[in-house]
Structure 1
Amino acid sequence: MSREGATLQTYNNELVTCIEELCAKREEIQQQISDEEKKRNNLQHDIQMLSNQLAELNESLSEKIAVREEYDKLIRETQDAYMKILKSSQALLGLVKTESSKLSQKNFTEKDAKDS
């Protein structure tokens, strides 16, 4: 019986050793889980911060694009008006030159008639 008791004691010691090893491995895994959960939480926080920054940037871009479009419209309208002014100025200059030439010829013709 003492031999069976010794065998049982050996099994018991091995079983306790196995349980301790399993607990140590579990603790190691638990530490890895805790580390990875911390990393995950940090990443989720970073993602939320970046998402907020992205939303703010998109809003700012939308506003600036709208302002740029207003500038584009104002520039087009101003350029169109300026081209109309140039065409009108050109027409006015042509009219003034024509009328001036007519007046000069009329004045020259009248002068010749008086001199004759």
Structure 2
Amino acid sequence: MSSDVRNILTALEGIPEPWQPHLLARVNDYAVKVVKLDGEFVWHTHDDTDELFLVLSGRLTIQLRDRDVVLGPHDVFVVPKGVEHCPRADGEVHALLVEPTVTVNTGDAGGERTAPLRELD
């Protein structure tokens, strides 16, 4: 990936499907990802890392076992490492995620929703 300027809105326009994270930038060993979300994801845990969600548009609910965290545009929430969670978007949400580059989107759950980190065109 080059060190050129990237535009978040242009990057999101190039994402055809929800739940398919795309690499916007790298910061050391971390990936800054853009993603479209729609519907409910899978319950999963990232045992070794926190996961930062920044909602750009829409409304995202991060379901935790003991509560729901509701995020609107420009809200940020960090899911601590080891905490089981399940993102849910009732309508399309655009979000930015920050986590280590090697982090798998479905964490320990695996399954058909596991998606490789894609490069943007």
TM over 0.5: no
More helix by share: 1
Q: Looking at secondary structure, tell me which structure has more strand per residue.
A: 2
Larger radius of gyration: 1
Q: Say which structure, 1 or 2, has more relative contact order (CA 8 Å, 6+ apart).
A: 2
